[in-house]
Amino acid sequence: MSDRFQVDLAGMVDLLSRHLYSGPQVYVRELIQNAVDAVTARRALDPEAPATIRISTGETPAGEALVEVVDTGVGLTAAEAAELLATIGRSSKRDPSLGLGRAEFIGQFGIGMLAAFMVADRIEVRSRSAVLGAAPILWEGRAEGTFEVTELAANEGGAAEEIPVGTTVRVIARAEAAHWLAADTVLGLAREYGSLLPFDISVLVPVDGDEPAWRRITEPELPWRVEYRSRGERSAALAEYCERTFGFTLIAAIDLELPVAGVSGVAFLLPQAVSPGSGQHRVYMKRMLLGQRIDRVLPDWAFFARAVIDTETLSPTASREQLHDDELLMTVRDALGAQMKQWVTETLRSPSGLARRVIEVHHLALRALAVTDPEMLELVAEVLPFETSDGVMTLAEAAARGEIVYTSTTEAYRRVAAVARAQGLAVVNAGYVYDADLLQRLGSRGGWRVRELESADLVQILAVPSLARELEVADAVARARDLLETDDCDVIVRGFAPDSVPAILLRDAEGEHRRDLDRERDEQPDLWGGLLDGFAEERAARTRTLVLNDDCEVAQRLLAAPAGEVFAAGLRSLYLSAVMLAGEGLRGSETTAFSGALGVLLGAALGAPTGSALDRDQGNDDGPQRPEEER
Ligand SMILES: Nc1ncnc2c1ncn2[C@@H]1O[C@H](COP(=O)(O)OP(=O)(O)OP(=O)(O)O)[C@@H](O)[C@H]1O
């Protein structure tokens, strides 16, 4: 003999509330959805049937909080109520041959009613079926797991025939869940879930000093489907909708339309850059809100947009709060991505204020897009500005000048930019996320000559002087380092081209020079002995390095100069011209120091008295050249 499964209702409800749904608030959604499905079913039988849903809150005579949802839907017979309302997993909305939800209904799983028990102590369903001659019924279910069905005629005297076709669901709260049934909570939730549903749904709201009033919460049309007199009017309405729904002022709205998959919507471009992986979208399913943080609706690279879509075909998970990541979703995601790509291509190809703004704010997203898509790669190479040692330009512009040489980190770029600039070599800073990948891909396409800056380029750029020369200038270098200590700047001597540039300034954000020193020491451990160890330690503490060009006569003469005011003034002049060569402007105190130093040099040459800047340089650390802020 076989037995039937028993269900512990309290246990099931606990399971739902803790592990399936995000919280008890979904009970409002389930009630509205059942009412909408019932109205849809009735309209299928009788297209002229009324289609209204009324939601109100109140109290039972015993003071328990209650929510009542009244629909003019298809209703339930006594047998249907007994079978459907209390059988977990039983739904009238599934197609028996396919085992899937039927296209016209939102519900399909047969568990929605249980959600109400997350807040309810009891649920009463009064209903009259649209089936001709059906008697009105009352179904009462209790949280402890019992229910009964009675015919209202027998229960409530002669009023039965006056009861119209439709259903009234009354949820009576457990004391500790009563706040979920408060008037403004229910209004807020009904709006959140139901505002785009295609029926007249109204909520009874309290009015200060007056009788409560019905307020319609549904909009007659999807915001992106409303017809306006002009494009401008439509744009303004969408901007307002975006502000209201997502809380930001859009840069642009991109229409999304996929009729074959029953998907439509709009993607709003965010007004500021966001990090990848934050693409979260608002999804409606048959015009009922599924969730406001749904990912995977658009491709990963579209993280610079927030979309709102309505879908008739994508499948919800049983919680009805996420989408099934199935093949259909993948196809939809790709198709919506293609529409966004088309918009991006068209917008960026024709120069406009909008194109500039999109590039300025969302260049990172465009880089991400270029990495995944060869067509976008060409577009990005044409329109995206890159920092190069020859100024800001697009990759297409850089390519027009010859081979593109890039560094894959910004630190490496900062280190070599000044040297490269001094030598007329254009180096592209490919330090942003995706850049190195992007340039590599570009390099593997026909017609582009691209390569990463190699260490061989660097060795060629900065030549280490011989040991003898290093020892010869050691004293001058030590003096120079003392003089530039307050500028947070180290001093080294190297040879590099062109020999017309006496000095360049390197940044040392990652201790690159320390590594250089380590390498040099490793190569010639005996010769250098402990000499470099001391240097390395102290040098690592300074964030910039002045490289004096040992191939340049001016620098050579400075290194040969005796200690004194001319040496200090000469060093300061070279330092400040290197600051300018590195693309940094001079601060006020530096401009003063520059003219002071020139004054000293001219004075020395012309025999006039020396200037005050030199005195400051040769004095101790409280000189005016001390950096007031980080460079
Ligand atoms: N307001 C209503 N009017 C008429 N029938 C209803 C109503 N509410 C519920 N029902 C019936 O009860 C059944 C079970 O409802 P329930 O909400 O548990 O599941 P569902 O809506 O079918 O599926 P889902 O779990 O996906 O919401 C429904 O299939 C429907 O036949």
Name residue, tokens 């000189």: 623
Asked if 86 and 123 count as a contact pair (C-beta separation under 8 A), the reply is no
> At 625, which amino acid appears?
Q
Output the CA 153–ligand 1 centroid distance in Å. Answer: 23
Residue 299 Cβ contacting ligand 1 at under 6 Å: no
Task: Indicate if 287 and 393 belong to the same structural domain.
Answer: no
| Cα-based distances in Å from 243 to 141, 240, 460 | 43, 5, 56
The rounded distance, in Å, linking the Cα atoms of 616 and 596 is 9
Which residue lies with its CA nearest to atom 31 of ligand 1? 92
Output the CA 86–ligand 1 centroid distance in Å. Answer: 10
| CA neighbor of 378 nearest in space, from 357, 358, 348 | 348
**Does residue 134 form part of some domain?**
yes
Task: Indicate if 424 and 526 belong to the same structural domain.
Answer: no
Task: Indicate if 494 and 567 belong to the same structural domain.
Answer: yes
Residue 385: strand, helix, or coil: strand
pLDDT one-digit tens code per residue, 315-348: 998 888 889 999 999 999 999 999 999 999 999 9
Taking the model in full, what pTM does it have? 0.73
| Cα-based distances in Å from 297 to 264, 364, 366, 375 | 12, 20, 18, 22
Q: What's the confidence (pLDDT) of residue 409?
A: 85
Residue 113 Cβ contacting ligand 1 at under 6 Å: yes
**Does residue 370 form part of some domain?**
no
The reply to whether 34 sits in an annotated binding site is yes
Average pLDDT per block of 10 residues along the chain, 631 residues long: 80 80 92 96 94 97 97 95 84 67 80 90 95 92 90 60 89 96 97 96 93 94 96 97 96 97 96 80 96 90 94 90 92 96 93 94 90 90 91 93 89 75 81 91 91 71 88 96 91 88 72 48 45 46 85 96 95 92 77 93 79 47 40 36
Q: What is the number of the ligand 1 atom nearest to the C-alpha of 107?
A: 26
Q: What is the number of the ligand 1 atom nearest to the C-alpha of 114?
A: 18
Q: What's the confidence (pLDDT) of residue 372?
A: 87
Q: How many residues does the chain have?
A: 631
CATH code, 554: 1.20.120.790
| CA neighbor of 128 nearest in space, from 216, 49, 26 | 49
pLDDT one-digit tens code per residue, 74-124: 999 999 998 888 787 778 877 666 555 678 888 888 888 888 999 999 999
The reply to whether 150 sits in an annotated binding site is no
Q: What's the confidence (pLDDT) of residue 584?
A: 67
Q: What's the confidence (pLDDT) of residue 6?
A: 78
| Tokens encoding 106 | 């939102």
pLDDT one-digit tens code per residue, 187-223: 999 999 999 999 999 999 988 899 999 999 999 899 9
Task: Indicate if 576 and 619 belong to the same structural domain.
Answer: yes
Output the CA 199–ligand 1 centroid distance in Å. Answer: 18
Q: What is the number of the ligand 1 atom nearest to the C-alpha of 71?
A: 1
Rg of the chain on CA atoms, in Å? 38
Residue that terminates a domain, selected from 541, 564, 585: 541
Q: Give the rounded distance of the alpha carbon of 459 from its chain centre.
A: 41
**Does residue 250 form part of some domain?**
yes
Name residue, tokens 């289609």: 51
CATH code, 67: 3.30.565.10
Q: What's the confidence (pLDDT) of residue 360?
A: 92
Residue 315 Cβ contacting ligand 1 at under 6 Å: no
Q: What's the confidence (pLDDT) of residue 278?
A: 65
User: Residue 536 belongs to what domain range?
Assistant: 509-541
Residue 378 Cβ contacting ligand 1 at under 6 Å: no
The rounded distance, in Å, linking the Cα atoms of 591 and 576 is 9
Q: DSSP label at 494?
A: E
Sheet strands (E) in 239-367: 253-258, 263-269, 281-285, 288-294, 305-311
Sign of CA dihedral 573, 574, 580, 584: negative
ipTM of this complex prediction, to 2 decimal places: 0.98
Pairing type for strands 120-128 and 288-294 reads: unpaired
| Domain count within the chain | 5
The rounded distance, in Å, linking the Cα atoms of 230 and 11 is 56
